[in-house]
Structure 1
């Protein structure tokens, strides 16, 4: 994998993760510099030894390098320029490993380009609450995985960290404060609840809706851009292979025709598939499923069965 040296914004390849590094989480803009851009920048401007190529990097890369260096970090990882996306093998490895890269970072800097310093982040209409960063698919794992997360304004002023904002982040994202603070293991949270966290987030590429969730569920799969919605289906299949949690099948529960018969979940034939089409289908799963521990899910099914009186005609059994 590739990392930026913070003092010069130059790329260096590592066969394994550096012992200590910072990592950036952000919303992509129109002027992002790629791996090839950074390599070209150094080839063009580093020859004389008098010109620091970092000065010619994009404002975001330059600003993050300067901030990380001031905090004592020599190495920085930024997804826009530390992956050679012309290599399908390197891109697939990065996507499959990204959750762990964020988890193992000494610190994650969340750069909020649309948030100013000075205002109260908890205010009802604060720019912090309404930042685009909270609406993106990839930033879900970038919030959950690292233990140390610092939120920075558009001019690189620290607003606070994940521990300080834990309750506020729970309000904004729906992620339990105990998950954010590592008092509850992510693996103990029902699949449906984890899907609900992602249900209102968006990605530029359809396939990234699935790929950005692999780390959340601890699964790995090949990345095939061009497969469209099939990527989300494959994600669910991998989840079923690796996690014994039937809450995955409660997507859209509460829509007309869904009900329980004994321990079985009944869905109308018109639904066509046992699997959801996208994370958006989990916006309103069965309320009882959204419990903290997977072990409580079976009893939730039993409770739902006792209160159901809907007809069972024209249905398929899951």
Structure 2
């Protein structure tokens, strides 16, 4: 895991979770000026000359981390070497754990896209302490003016806003506050949280849910919708909760494929599964006997 030294804005790799120092973590939606791992790790640091939105995001994250008494921070844009398939796979499989392990998560609510993205679902649930901010320039509609000083406006913590967050996300407050285990919520119920969320790549709607279901699987970009099928198969291997099959086909899919089998096409087909109780195999056997 690569972390940013918030004092020097340089990267350092930590080999194992036992060696990790306390760190802050950022939750955000990507923009066009993000700084990649290759750019950020370049010894010449050429990105410093551009001072775009991506660099300001890194600077503000480090500023907030220093104010919280932390020396390290993690940002997905510049802390993952995406040229390495092994590192990318490890990062995606470890993402939930990394957000859960952070001392604090800074969440930037960019034009409300944050609530509609797939990856931000686990970034809301996993960290125990989340502080929410609005980008001042985005709020004013002047984000293209690079000469204006950029800052984040605090709107409260996850604990402060839990009631509103629960309404918007359809996730019960005890889950948001880490007072209730994810395993206590049915598979169908957890799937319903992701209904309506979007990812830039089709496969990511499956990969971003692995931590929520406690499963791991290899990344195969290019497999398309098969990724969500594999996710459900992994869930079946790990859980005997048969609420996985409590979904409703979308009208178009039902017309085209009236006989589809047991697995859903996407989390959207679980939109009506909120509140479904876990259905273990033993319960089904008892009812049938």
Structure 1 residue runs of 4 or more that deviate by more than 2 Å after TM superposition: 42-46, 52-57, 291-295
Q: 1:132-163 CA distances to partner (integer Å, 9 max, x unpaired)? A: 10000000000001110110121322211111
Question: 1:11-43 deviations in whole A, cap 9, x for unaligned?
Answer: 111112423111000001111100001012x42
Q: Secondary structure at the match of 2:15?
A: coil
Greater helix fraction, Structure 1 or Structure 2? 2
Residues 1:272 and 2:260 are matched in the alignment: yes
How far apart are the structure 2 equivalents of 1:55 and 1:67?
Answer: 18
Work out whether residues 55 and 62 of structure 1, in 8 Å CA contact, stay in contact via their aligned partners in 2: no
For structure 1, list consecutive stretches of 5 or more residues without a partner in the other structure. Answer: 47-51, 115-130, 259-268, 306-318
Contact 1:199 1:282 in 2 (8 A): yes
CA RMSD for the aligned pairs?
Answer: 2.9
CA distance in 1, matches of 2:261, 2:154: 46
**Matched length:** 267
SS of 2:121's equivalent?
A: helix
Give, in angstroms, the shift of residue 234 of structure 1: 0.2
Change (3 A) 1:53 1:67: farther
Contact 2:250 2:269 in 1 (8 A): no
Q: CA deviation at 1:183?
A: 2.3
Q: Answer yes or no: is the 8 Å Cα contact 2:243–2:278 preserved in 1.
A: no
1:9–1:53 CA contact under 8 A, matched in 2: no
Contact 1:6 1:75 in 2 (8 A): yes
**Mapped partners of 1:66, 1:53: distance in 2:** 19
Distance across 2 between alignment mates of 1:292 and 1:245 = 9
The TM-score, its normalising length taken from structure 2, stands at: 0.84
Matched residue, 1:142: 123
Q: Which residue of 1 aligns with 2:272?
A: 284
Residue ranges of structure 2 left out of the alignment (5+ in a row): 136-150
Q: Which residue of 1 aligns with 2:94?
A: 97
Q: Tell me the equivalent position of 2:7.
A: 7
Specify whether residues 55 and 9 from structure 1 end up closer, same or farther in structure 2 by C-alpha distance, changes over 3 A only.
farther
Once the two structures are superposed, the pairs formed by residues 24-39 of structure 1 within 5 Å of their partners are: 24-39=26-41
Task: Give 3-state SS (helix, strand or coil) of 1:85's partner.
Answer: coil
The residue number in structure 2 matching 1:263 is none
Q: Matched residues in 1 for 2:9 and 2:28: separation?
A: 18
- SS of equivalent residue, structure 1 residue 157: strand
Cα distance, 1:44 vs. partner?
Answer: 4.1
Map 1:238-257 onto structure 2 (within 5 A): 238-252=234-248
Q: Is the 8 A contact 2:195 2:271 kept in 1?
A: yes
Tell whether 2:152 aligns with 1:156. Answer: yes
Could you give the per-residue CA deviations for residues 225-275 of structure 1, whole angstroms, max 9, x where no partner exists? Answer: 0000000000000000101100000111798xx9xxxxxxxxxx8232210
CA deviation after TM superposition for structure 1 residue 59, in Å: 1.2
How far off is 1:219 after superposition? 0.1
Asked if the contact 1:7/1:54 (under 8 Å) is kept, the reply is: no
Q: Deviations over 1:78-103 (max 9, x none)?
A: 00110000000000000000100000
- SS of 1:151's equivalent in the other structure is strand
Shift of 1:55: 7.2
Q: CA deviation at 1:66?
A: 1.4
SS of equivalent residue, structure 1 residue 239: helix
CA contact (8 A) 2:186 2:276 kept: yes
CA contact (8 A) 1:23 1:78 kept: yes
Decide which moves more: 98-107 or 56-65: 56-65
Determine the structure 2 residue equivalent to 1:43. Answer: 44
